[in-house]
Structure 1
């Protein structure tokens, strides 16, 4: 070993010996920040810039395809010698993208330019997510993974408090003083600086002893394995009915979670509540996020107590709570912010409670088998695709129906998932044979 290599090796060893809390927190904060900027903040920004709901839903929906399709290129990242290198490179790329976003909003063709940058951010973020989770699993043993899972989720959602509860409120304040375009340029400039600082810290703090020897791996070998994984996934008994169930579980959610926040900002003479950007950020970034976390925890304990098979009907009904809540708001059009805040808290509580059902369904029914981890990723991709498909069409439906009838329509969209429960495979229960679908030979574990 040369003398120049010794300091680098010492740095790697030092990084590996640091307490995981010193890097798990910053790693998952960045993961959440990248996701929420693209999938939440962008839509609200465009609404304030006067973009129509159908355009917002269509384009932000297409952005979400990055997370739906990421399982298709995730195996190829194993060819890289270091997951840390991918993570850090992805974070610096996103920091540069956020700076470009700040500049794009000042151009005459700002809409097309900003969408191009958001596509860059979406695919950089989705690729970062793959390496991020891989780094977490490769760096920690099973006991440590369980011990720091709570920190992982806490800091991921802490970024939601920042983006919705902090930066969105700041954007609303700036909009009144320097205009919408300038305000959002400032916001993305601040995000770029913050992400650059965090990426620099992670370049120092993340463990680097992940350079597992993959000399036997080739792109052709990875592609062959990927084909085998997909073929095995599609050969599972009742898989097409499972896929339909996953898509229909999220069919109403994708629509209401896209249009709901836009409805809050929409002017009252156009059927909305006419809230300011600051008010929406304050409501969603505080009570909304807290209610979602509480609902998720309660949903997990409820399902553990009752079992997924018995709890699933209640979880699907809970997913309809946001739809019913927004229908109530569209009919009554309350002007009191406390009234709206209470409704949003109920909405997010139901959403968090019910969404647990789909995560556990993929874990316990779809994923088990020879390629459990890969099939969980594919199932999650199908879940995201179902959300994106409904998100993409939601704006067109809302414009044709109006807000009140649109939210009533989303309530009806939850019924197919309930009906499919009579046929779909569940833990401890074989699926009923359906035309063109073979009955499973054994119960799911």
Structure 2
């Protein structure tokens, strides 16, 4: 969700003369961005598990789909040279809409796995284009005052999109599977294809409707002052951005921070969801899709948003340097809730929900420290936007790599053993937090 629509858009910003009212396109634009990202990186874990994949396969494939979002800073500048930002937003949403409908049709095939994964990979790269150019419209269609004014709307809309997928869509599949098609909600296998077909057909229709809406109401977006005019120029600028990035004082420690601050969360993310869904016999909690969606995407999301607000106020009051280590504690120590749940295996829905709420609340508090550190320490310089994007890409790389191996490790260790491993994986986060350099001075 970073504004990396150009190699550096800090010097942008020339709003178009007749900009549509932001409330007509900012909420829908960021809502639509969240639909694609969360269906690929979060709901896909549950879908793959529903369809009968092992934990290793479900976590590995879903995590790998985040690759396009990790490497998008490498091709962001090239999109600046052609057409308008709105053109790419509309084209990406139309292609995604067709792609999701294609996934629904592919699930009807006897051997649906390969075409489904291929379509997901295509959608992931097209989705990253949507992210880049939607951010670009936001940055270049409004002045700095408007950008700040609608930042809260932007964030809220993205979280509503996340809620629609990880809550609404997952709950819908569980309801259809159990109450419409009459299947056992706790048994995985190909019987789940019918419910997910409907979900993807609906998602495709929503994406096409969003394209139609944005065709009418989204502004074109203007170009950055330093937009490259050729592939050679764009490549040279990208290379210079890389060179200056590695010339920063203390850069290797800052890279270590970007990679390691959320290391334990990267290991925790997919297995914690699979743990909620897995059977009691396998060490899980046997939640249905409906129960899972309600806990994670309603209670958990609300807790995370509240935690993020508190974390922001805390940093504003204490300053990042003093606040960083407590924020590191907040993002890591509450992971122990999953260890306790795996030992107890409670049948109480309220107790399970409480565990998730606690973990998500403190994750919201702690994650603020990561983003502000990148903004204040890693990003400043000649290519502020590009270097911030590199930092978030490193975080994405950590999440992708840890996610890809997490399922294999969990199957080898069992849930309790694996959650002990997750707690051990918090150690590098504390070390890098303690060593993180502060070369930029901020009030």
TM over 0.5: yes
SS at 2:253 equivalent: helix
1:370 partnered with 2:396? no
Match in the other structure for 2:262: 250
Which structure 2 segments of 5+ residues have no match? 1-14, 182-190
Please tell me whether the aligned partners of residues 15 and 206 of structure 1 are also in contact (alpha carbons under 8 angstroms). Answer: no
**Inter-partner Cα distance in structure 2 for 1:73 and 1:212:** 16
**Unaligned residue ranges in structure 1 (runs of 5+):** 1-12, 429-442
Q: 2:79 aligns with which of 58, 77, 80?
A: 77
* Match of residue 400, structure 1, among 375, 389, 412: 412
Aligned residue for 1:106, secondary structure, equals: coil
Q: What CA distance in whole angstroms lies between the structure 1 residues aligned with 2:147 and 2:288?
A: 41
Q: Does 1:173 align with 2:175?
A: yes
- Trace 1:82-121 onto structure 2 (pairs within 5 A): 82-121=84-123
- Aligned ranges 1:113-152 → 2 under 5 Å: 113-152=115-154
* Mapped partners of 2:86, 2:256: distance in 1: 37
Asked if the contact 2:172/2:290 (under 8 Å) is kept, the reply is yes
Pick 1 or 2: higher relative contact order, CA cutoff 8 A, min separation 6. Answer: 2
Query: 3-state SS of the aligned residue for 1:272?
Result: coil
CA contact under 8 A between 1:321 and 1:346: conserved in structure 2?
Answer: no
Displacement after TM superposition at 1:187 (Å): 0.5
- Separation in structure 2 between the aligned mates of residue 321 and residue 38 of structure 1, nearest angstrom: 28
Deviation readout 1:294-314 (Å, 9 max, x if unpaired) = 111111111111111111111
1:389 corresponds to which of 393, 401, 416: 401
Shift of residue 253, structure 1, vs aligned partner: 0.7
8 Å Cα contact 2:284/2:342 also seen in 1? yes
Of the three residues 274, 292, 298, the one matched with 1:280 is: 292
The equivalent of 1:424 in structure 2 is 436
Distance in 2, matches of 1:134 and 1:209, equals: 7
**Is the contact between residue 246 and residue 358 of structure 1 (CA under 8 Å) also seen in structure 2?**
yes
Partners of 1:37 and 1:139 in 2: how far apart? 28
CA distance in structure 2 between the aligned counterparts of 1:21 and 1:274, rounded to whole angstroms: 41
The aligned length equals 419
Would the aligned equivalents of 2:330 and 2:363 in 1 still touch at CA under 8 Å?
yes
Looking at structure 2, the residues matched to 15 and 27 of structure 1 have their Cα atoms a distance apart, in angstroms, of: 20
The Cα shift of 1:444 comes to 7.8
Bigger Rg, structure 1 or 2: 1
* Deviation for aligned residue 1:15: 9.7
Indicate conservation of the 8 Å contact 2:29/2:134, yes or no: yes
| Cα deviation code 1:103-131 (max 9, x no counterpart) | 11111221222111111111111111011
How far residue 292 of structure 1 moved from its aligned partner, in angstroms, is 0.9
Deviation at 1:273, TM superposition (A): 0.2
Q: In 1, distance between residues paired with 2:434 and 2:167?
A: 41
